[in-house]
Structure 1
């Protein structure tokens, strides 16, 4: 019976290389975050209610923060 502690789970092993499929997912996610940020900014600029505008801008900033965090992890 193999020792379960000695077996490495590929999902938790230390590796610094992304597969092509993983890289594709990351690229998609980065694109989605930028698109969401742009849509928030566009919507906020057209919004007439200052409170709602501030919330939408905050949401757009969160998307930009997510984008930058992910990008930093990849560097």
Structure 2
């Protein structure tokens, strides 16, 4: 819930406000959840947790981009049979 009068805002602005409030709550809970998880983990079995591990809005590292040069284009052509 957003503690504001919704009448002067458009639906888009209200959605932005709700999304921002939701993200802000996760930013507050992430460090607390990481603290609890780190207190209860076995240091020999797993790495320390970070707040980003519990934040669904945190940017996840994706695959590295493929650089297109003559070698990779040739590999792609051979793989596609062209």
Both proteins in one fold, TM over 0.5? no
Scaled by the length of structure 2, the TM-score of the pair is 0.39
Per chain length, whose mean CA-contact separation is higher, i.e. which structure has more relative contact order (CA < 8 Å, sep 6+)?
1
Scaled by the length of structure 1, the TM-score of the pair is 0.42
Q: Which structure: larger Rg?
A: 2
